[in-house]
Chains A and B, each alone.
Chain A
Amino acid sequence: EIVLTQSPGTLSLSPGERATLSCRASQSVRSSYLAWYQHKRGQAPRLLIYGASSRATGIPDRFSGSGSGTDFNFTISRVEPEDFAVYYCQQYDNSRMFTFGQGTKLEVK
């Protein structure tokens, strides 16, 4: 099973600042099989990025993803008030297993 480790656990920023989140895999992940989600309390998780760098339908361009192999990043170019939430990375591997990172909480500084 591929283990995903996200850092930092909590990121404290002010609106307008740049957010960079990291997701490191225990084994190489095919780029097309890496996704990022936003989760707000009481709401359904929302797909933001799939294929490591492709934005899902309707996702603003301030959200972006990059990386390959075992190191992936997720960036919010300028954090908006509605962006404060928990962010998860997720991978799918050749054994047909889906696994998630433990999450990064983006909070107001």
Chain B
Amino acid sequence: QLQLQESGPGLVKPSQTLSLTCTVSGGSISSGNYYWSWIRQHPGKGLEWIGYIYYNGNTYYNPSLKSRVTISIDKSKSQFSLNLSSVTAADTAVYSCARTGHSYFDSWGQGTLVTVTS
């Protein structure tokens, strides 16, 4: 069974870069049938898709975050990562990784809370 697990610091200072990693197990991150996404949920708010990466490194980002987001992949470690630069309190959220099929997310990690605070 496919499992995704997010990891990274739970606290980030304003103006710094938020960095998270998603480790994929029970399936291949190199499958050409899927993309690998990051999604976040602000406290008490809805879900926001951040972007995705394909196994070959191709990426696509939410235009609202594009200038600050980088998603990368390390197939040897079965991991993909999120970097979000110049964070503010508005970036405080639960960040989740998910396997992305044709148009939906069929497996998710549990999510990790990242708080931006000085």
Q: Which residues of A contact B (CB under 8 A)?
A: 32-33, 35, 37, 42-47, 50, 56, 88, 90-92, 96-103
| A100 vs B72: C-alpha distance when bound (angstroms) | 24
Chain B residues whose C-beta falls within 8 Å of the C-beta of A99 in the assembled complex = 49
Contact A47:B110 (CB < 8 A) given known A97-B62, A100-B47: no
| A59 vs B107: C-alpha distance when bound (angstroms) | 14
Instruction: Tell me which of A32, A96, A103 contacts B46 (CB under 8 A).
Output: A103
Instruction: Tell me which of B46, B102, B106, B110 contacts A101 (CB under 8 A).
Output: B46
Q: Which residues of B contact A (CB under 8 A)?
A: 4, 37, 45-49, 60, 62-63, 96, 98, 101-111
| A33 vs B100: C-alpha distance when bound (angstroms) | 12
Q: Are B46 and A45 in contact (CB under 8 A)?
A: no
Contact A44:B109 (CB < 8 A) given known A97-B62, A98-B49: yes
Chain B residues whose C-beta falls within 8 Å of the C-beta of A97 in the assembled complex = 49, 62-63
Instruction: Tell me which of B103, B109, B110 contacts A33 (CB under 8 A).
Output: B103
Chain B residues whose C-beta falls within 8 Å of the C-beta of A45 in the assembled complex = 47, 96, 98, 105, 108
What would be 9 A-B contacts, judged by CB atoms less than 8 Å apart? A35-B103, A44-B108, A44-B109, A90-B105, A92-B104, A97-B62, A97-B63, A101-B46, A102-B45
Contact A92:B111 (CB < 8 A) given known A100-B46, A102-B46, A103-B46: no
| A63 vs B83: C-alpha distance when bound (angstroms) | 37
Name the residue of chain B whose CB is nearest to the CB of A30: B103
Name the residue of chain B whose CB is nearest to the CB of A4: B46
Question: Min CB distance, A16 to chain B, in Å?
Answer: 29
Instruction: Tell me which of A47, A91, A103 contacts B105 (CB under 8 A).
Output: A47
